[in-house]
Chain A
Amino acid sequence: MVTYDIDNISPDMSFLEMMDVLNEELASKGVDPVAFDHDCREGICGSCSMFINGEAHGPDRLVTTCQLHMRKFKDGDTIFIEPFRANTFPVIKDLVVDRSSFDRIQHAGGFISVNTSGNTQDANAIPIEKSNADKAFDAATCIGCGACVATCKNSSAMLFVSAKVSQFSLLPQGQVEANERVLNMVKQMDDEGFGNCTNTGACEVECPKGISLENIARMNRDYLKAKVSS
């Protein structure tokens, strides 16, 4: 751990703006800046992976690090900033971690196959129950930031994988490959070395998008059904 002192931080600054100020100061002194991931800065891309004062994305709820404001801290506070830690998220530099294990899980089945030969049915012509559509949309809001893995005491990726499975399995377009999808994505998750879910619920609390544990139960159900029928 390295300690930096920093002044002139406005309570209205975002956490990443505070990091920018810190890095400008470090650069002006000829010191290497602190490397951290960021892109959209509006809670969509899921890049800003920081573990702040013992919590993924800091003390606020339903926000990413870029949406966290300095007003959440007191003047004179010492703020602990760490990268998301898990064997499956190796640290590249400082606060930047490699989350390509999530990409490989997605590649294993996080998609639907669509016939594009000209006879594709209009998606809007397929009736979908409102509650299922809502749940699928809720699951699809997962931005894959990795806060669930970072905060879970077991480094489990069940919330992420279950959201990605659910967003398809709840819709008719995703049901065709539902069994194959859940089996392949869970296998890839296990192969990557993520820990087991022990239902502490920490992931749901820290998830910036409020992905529900209901998705994990659904995935467990879908997986067991798929295993029996395979």
Chain B
Amino acid sequence: MSSVIQSSIIKKFAMALSGLFLIVFLLQHFIINITSVFSEEIFNQFSHFMGTNFVVQFIAQPILIFGVIFHFVMGFVLDLKNRGSRNVKYVKYKGSSNASWMSRNMIISGLVVLSFLGLHFYDFWIPEMKYKYVEFLPDDPNRYYTELTHKFEDLTKVVIYVVSFGFLSLHLLHGFSSSFQSMGVNNKYSPIIKIVTTIYSIGIPFGFSFIAIFHYLNH
């Protein structure tokens, strides 16, 4: 068992798997959030379902939280190990000549996304948990839209969200297709994976930014 945990390939595989899981979650999150732009009613319906469904709350949510924590902790563990593998640094190192900024700085973009998640949890998740499981307030299926738009009335917050989504985009531009390589997929479908990676990595963070800006402008 310890050889499994210590294997560099297994660690990378686990990292890739948790990353892909978070990518699927992000898509689902975006699909629900974008409805807030078109219809208050549909957004409230989706949010109420997600907020009250037993499977979502007590099975999917703990798995998601574990996935997030695992991805970040494993990311730090791998980064520390990697940094320690070259104690004497080069005087001149031209990393930009052979690798993209995104691939060389996943820890930076990851740290920004982690900080953003802290703010996001503070904004939405903690109040939600407090509402339902601490204060046991009465169920109100129509509160979600108002809570969402209220959060985006502050310009500073909107700017922080948009900048964070920019870093999320940079993180995904490398991480999405890289996870397939870590799982052993590098074949005739790889160019398609690259295209999907680019579309997803730019499209989803752009969409989230659009939602934040839209509600700021319409409050």
Q: Which residues of A contact B (CB under 8 A)?
A: 1, 51, 53-55, 59, 80, 82, 85-88, 91, 151, 153-156, 186-187, 189-190, 193-202, 205-206, 213-214, 216-224, 227
A-B pairs with beta carbons under 8 A, tally: 129
Q: Can you report 26 A-B residue pairs in the complex whose CB atoms are below 8 A from each other? A: A54-B94, A55-B98, A80-B92, A85-B88, A85-B90, A86-B85, A86-B86, A87-B87, A151-B98, A154-B85, A155-B86, A156-B85, A190-B6, A193-B85, A197-B8, A198-B178, A199-B178, A199-B182, A201-B103, A213-B181, A217-B184, A217-B185, A217-B186, A220-B183, A224-B10, A224-B184
Residue of B nearest to A88 (CB): B85
Tell me if B146 is interfacial: C-beta within 8 Å of chain A.
Answer: no
- Asked, given contacts A155-B85, A227-B4, whether A196 binds B184 with beta carbons under 8 Å apart, the answer is no
- Chain B window 150-180, contacts with chain A (Cβ cutoff 8 Å), 1 for yes, 0 for no: 0000000000000000000000001000100
Tell me if B106 is interfacial: C-beta within 8 Å of chain A.
Answer: yes
A80 to B87, CA, bound (A): 19
The answer to whether A196 and B12 have CB atoms under 8 Å apart is: yes
- Chain B window 133-156, contacts with chain A (Cβ cutoff 8 Å), 1 for yes, 0 for no: 000000000000000000000000
Among the listed B4, B87, B184, which residue makes an inter-chain contact with A220, where contact means beta carbons less than 8 Å apart?
B184
Residue of A nearest to B180 (CB): A217
Number of interface residues of B (CB under 8 A): 41
Residue of A91, A199, A220 with most partner-chain B CB within 10 A:
A199
A219 to B84, CA, bound (A): 24
Residues of B within 8 A of A155 (CB): 82, 85-86
Residues of A within 8 A of B181 (CB): 199, 213, 216-217, 220
Among the listed A53, A154, A193, A227, which residue makes an inter-chain contact with B10, where contact means beta carbons less than 8 Å apart?
A227
The answer to whether B82 and A198 have CB atoms under 8 Å apart is: yes
The answer to whether A196 and B11 have CB atoms under 8 Å apart is: yes
A153 to B186, CA, bound (A): 22
Q: Which chain B residues (40-60) contact chain A, with CB distance < 8 Å?
A: none
